[in-house]
Amino acid sequence: MNKKIGLLLLIGGLLQRGVLANEHKISEKPLELSILAIQNGKTYDENWTVFQEAFKDTNVKLKSYSSKNLTDEIQAFNLAVSSGNLPDIISLAYPEKLESLGMDGGIVSLNDLIDKHAPNIKAFFEKYPRYKMDAVAADGNIYFIPDYYDWYNMRAAQGVFIRKDWLDKLGLKTPKTMDELYEVMVAFKTKDPNGNGKADEIPYFERSVEFADKELVG
């Protein structure tokens, strides 16, 4: 199996942490790297506008490693590992798989690379040691850079949207407690706020279960 140097996840981390905002070039010459990234059933597409703009700022172009018809990230990851030809960057929602691959010798650790080539990530870990713990595997090494939401300091940035026109239609106020939220959701479902004569409204929707897990259930 080819041992990609940390899968060049350091570059993935740099792309996400301030480089774009400062318009710094990562490479003097245009550099193309392969990336395995599938989220919510959608495979990374180098034609997406945001990544075309990122290329202008960083001089790094990311090319999809897997077929755009492959929408299961675990299947795509397993195929890459079994092929012995890993992409330069892997974006995966299951860090334990990267840790396992690293501890089995499939990839080298990022410890020395972070010390030598990633001063921003190193400073971040030194300032927030609790976040560094999320990146350290059982053997004490770092094999991936987590995607941080800074849950401790930025909870105010997370929230929900509500249909105020539906509230107005039903004569309701914006809910401020869980009991009030429940009552509003029931009203949205049963009192036809869209006015089509059918109880076909969906009172609550989100694209993932993260907010429900951390806020509603909690």
Task: Read off the pLDDT of residues 93-123 as tens digits, 9 standing for 90 and up.
Answer: 888 888 998 999 888 899 999 999 889 899 9
Query: What's the pLDDT at 157?
Result: 55
What does DSSP say about strands 89-91 and 31-39: parallel, antiparallel, or unpaired? Answer: parallel
pLDDT category, 10, cuts 50, 70, 90?
Answer: very low
Domain ranges of the chain: 6-135, 159-216
Which sign does the torsion angle of CA 52, 53, 54, 58 carry? positive
Question: If you count them, how many residues does the chain have?
Answer: 218
Looking at the chain, which runs of residues are DSSP E strands? 31-39, 42-43, 60-64, 89-91
CATH topology assigned to domain 6-135: D-Maltodextrin-Binding Protein; domain 2 (3.40.190)
Question: pTM to 2 decimals?
Answer: 0.57
Task: Read off the pLDDT of residues 32-85 as tens digits, 9 standing for 90 and up.
Answer: 999 999 987 889 999 999 899 989 988 999 999 988 888 888 899 999 888 888
The span from the CA of 146 to the CA of 134, in Å, is 7
Q: Pick 23 or 26 by higher pLDDT.
A: 26
HEC string of 104-168 equals CCCCCCCHHHHHHHCHHHHHHHHHCHHHHHHHECCCCCECCCCCCCCCCCCHHHCCCCCCHHHHH
Give the list of residues 6+ apart from residue 120 with CB closer than 8 angstroms, or none: 14, 17, 18
Task: Read off the pLDDT of residues 117-131 as tens digits, 9 standing for 90 and up.
Answer: 889 899 999 998 988
The span from the CA of 192 to the CA of 166, in Å, is 9
pLDDT category, 203, cuts 50, 70, 90?
Answer: very high
